[in-house]
Amino acid sequence: MHPEVAAYVLGVLDDDETERFERHLDGCADCRREIQELQEVPAALDELKEQSSRVDD
């Protein structure tokens, strides 16, 4: 896995890093596939966080 794939999916790259990584994606089918596989992770993490906060209340 490319080191920036997870950061890109989670949206934590800054603007310059995002632009640079998106240029990389143009020529890298492996990273595009990895992003597709991970695209549901942010929503799943948000759901877990929400469930956790309800339990804590």
Q: Which residues of the chain have pLDDT under 70?
A: 56-57
pLDDT score recorded for residue 56: 66
pLDDT score recorded for residue 28: 96
pLDDT score recorded for residue 50: 80
pLDDT score recorded for residue 44: 73
Distance between CA 47 and CA 42 in Å, rounded? 9
Q: What is the pTM of this model?
A: 0.71
pLDDT score recorded for residue 47: 81
Q: Which residues contact 28 (CB under 8 A, 6 or more apart)?
A: 2
